[in-house]
Amino acid sequence: MRICLGLLPALLLAGCNTAERREPIQPPPPPSAVLPAVPAAPVAALGPVLDGNGACTGPAPGTATAIETGIGECDLVRLKGRPPTDVLVGEGRSGREVQVLYTEPGAKELYFFVNNRLDRIVR
């Protein structure tokens, strides 16, 4: 058994002394076409928007007369006549994304905004 254990390191080292030619390590191929990130619009350029508490950051323009796609965040609050139940503000692929929740008697309404424009409503 001692002979086998004594020969094992010698055999392992002998394998390292081979005159094998190794190719240099090649760098990885360049990544495939990567889409450039869409720069998010600065909040100031969007006009008055909602903060995380549901308050407008400035005076609402007051031009919207109905809740429909394309209206601003503050116009929604003005048309609803009360602050939202909850507001989630974040950054997405298209820029500023806001979800505004209103809990109505017997139902919930969720308003999705992209860059201060109402995108869709889920009831």
pLDDT of residue 105: 86
Distances (CA, A) of 74 to 3, 23, 38, 47, 50: 85, 64, 25, 9, 6
Chain centroid to Cα 74, Å, comes to 23
Q: How many helices (H) and strands (E) does the chain have?
A: 2, 4
3-class DSSP state for residue 106?
coil
Per-domain boundaries in the chain: 43-122
Show pLDDT as tens, one digit a residue, over the chain (123 residues). Answer: 555 555 555 655 555 555 556 777 877 666 665 555 555 555 557 889 999 999 999 987 778 899 999 999 999 999 999 999 999 999 988 899 999 999 988 899 999 999 999 999 998
Q: How far apart are CA 49 and CA 44, in angstroms?
A: 9
Instruction: Count Cα atoms within 13 angstroms, Cβ side, for 108.
Output: 6
pLDDT of residue 16: 55
pLDDT of residue 11: 56
pLDDT of residue 17: 54
pLDDT of residue 55: 93
CB atoms within 10 A of CB 21: 5
Within the chain, where are the H helices? 2-16, 73-80
> Tokens 């928007």, residue?
49
pLDDT of residue 94: 86
